[in-house]
Amino acid sequence: MKKIISILLILIIGGWLITNNPFIKEKYTTNGHPFVYKGDLLLVNHDFPVKEEYIQKDIVNAHQSNYSNYYIVLSKDILISEHIKAPFEALMEQAYNDGISTFLVSSGFRSFVEQKKLYDQYGSKSALPAGYSEHNLGLSLDIGSSQGRMEDTIEGQWLAENVWQHGFIMRYPKNKTHITKIKYEPWHIRYVGLPHSILMQEKDLALEEYIEFLKTEQTVHTSVNGQDYIIEYYPSEQFSEDLLPENQTYTISGDNQSGIIVTTEA
């Protein structure tokens, strides 16, 4: 009898752990469709980590650029996803044409190993565990100024006003810390692509809010620079590749939760 009671207790405790431990829970309940964990709109924060097997494979050196004289790279080992290189260079070229060439690029893509080292060295107040940082995506950059703190300089003001035009967002703005759960970082930009960056700026939405907006709306029509777009949100269990448009340009991204977003040039 005692043996039976012990087995029942083990089963009950084990079930409670699976239900209430967020890491175990994720393992048992996260939808496994690979599209959910790829793309430019992945939400990465304290609750939704990067899945290491889906990290961008097109990582390149940000220093190797025809536009590198438009900004200063503090390390020759700063890496980014190749497909955001052209938008980033266009952003820096616009800054240069506007008279600003004193940006300091200090950080880009980090491997899980590098992120763990930072976390172990600086702790939770200054770093995030491996997988929970946007820098593990290859879609984010930290950009400072050689003239002072970003929040006090014209470089910081210019960046906040112009990143949206090139598909980037200010990921951790001052008025959204209660949502992002990350302190104000006027140096951290994140690529989400067009038209999403414009919509987020117009509606004053953090990425967390934008994903919820798309979930609620399901279908959004918008126009940017004369180009019409249709944005469609699908719960992953309702998504099929048969839903993808034929003979039209589109991008596809997961939300890193349970949804898939298809953006079509209409």
Whole-angstrom distance, CA of residue 170 vs CA of residue 204: 11
Which of the residues 185, 208, 209, 265 is marked catalytic? 185
Whole-angstrom distance, CA of residue 38 vs CA of residue 51: 9
Question: Does residue 185 have an active-site annotation?
Answer: yes
> Catalytic positions, please?
185
